[in-house]
């Protein structure tokens, strides 16, 4: 395995990364969300053409996340619509058609007022990102990094279940999006002015 490359500025940012404690939600790959189990969140593995994925770092607290969030009324119950909207709001990202990967079963229901719910995971092509801007919902101004999926799991702190999720995302992206099975391992911060990927 080659050496992972990144700038001194990214090294400083990664040195401040703080991982959330694992929630231990069971991962249900490829399974449809059962009827009656509400989908409350949708998060995405967004792939650049070289196989890296977009991760967001909140520089204030060092928390790393994938783009995504809660379904809103305007999404009409569609996790793909929620992912596209949240990606635009959080990362100023435009994505291609999202593909369903599976869901996490949240038995505690921390996103649903204490009632069980599903947290969907999807994969999509990252088409472009616009100029960086704060998330209108939270005011957070994320740093946008492209990293290999395995490293994303490490930064997210998701452990073995996260690695299984990343493998499902990569398999989908290789088959549906034409990305390489082995991603570029350089860590790159996207430019503040934005950039374009897939046409």
Q: What percent of the chain has pLDDT over 70?
A: 90
- Model confidence, pTM: 0.91
SS3 79: helix
Q: Output the pLDDT for position 19.
A: 67
Q: Tokens in use for 46? A: 């967004």
C-beta separation of 126 from 177 below 8 A: no
Q: Output the pLDDT for position 161.
A: 87
Question: Nearest-CA neighbor of 89 among 20, 137, 160?
Answer: 137
Angle between helices 149-156 and 159-172 (to 10 degrees): 150
Q: What is the rounded average pLDDT of the residues 167-184? A: 96
Mean pLDDT of the chain: 90
Measure CA of the first residue to CA of the last residue in the chain; give whole Å.
31
Question: Nearest-CA neighbor of 195 among 22, 52, 69, 24?
Answer: 52
Q: What is the rounded average pLDDT of the residues 51-80? A: 93
C-beta separation of 87 from 42 below 8 A: no
Does residue 1 carry a pLDDT above 50? no
Query: Mean pLDDT lowest for which of 32-36, 107-111, 139-143?
Result: 107-111
The helix (run of H) or strand (run of E) holding residue 162 is helix 159-172
Q: Output the pLDDT for position 127.
A: 97
């Amino acid at each position: 395995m080659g050496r992972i490359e990144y700038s001194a500025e990214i090294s400083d940012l990664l040195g401040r990364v703080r991982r959330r404690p694992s929630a231990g939600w069971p991962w249900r790959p490829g399974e449809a969300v059962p009827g009656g189990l509400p989908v409350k969140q949708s998060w995405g593995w967004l792939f650049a053409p070289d196989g890296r994925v977009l991760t967001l770092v909140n520089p204030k607290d060092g928390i790393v996340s994938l783009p995504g969030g809660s379904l809103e009324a305007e999404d009409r119950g569609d996790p793909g619509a929620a992912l596209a909207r949240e990606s635009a709001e959080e990362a100023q990202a435009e994505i291609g058609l999202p593909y369903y990967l599976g869901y996490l079963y949240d038995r505690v229901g921390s996103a649903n007022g204490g009632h069980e719910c599903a947290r969907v995971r999807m994969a999509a092509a990252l088409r472009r990102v616009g100029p960086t801007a704060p998330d209108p919902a939270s005011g957070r101004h994320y740093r946008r990094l492209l990293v290999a999926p395995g490293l994303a799991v490490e930064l997210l702190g998701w452990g073995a279940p996260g690695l299984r999720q990343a493998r499902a995302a990569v398999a989908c992206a290789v088959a549906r999006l034409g990305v390489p099975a082995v991603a570029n391992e350089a860590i790159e911060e996207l430019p503040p002015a934005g950039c374009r990927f897939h046409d």
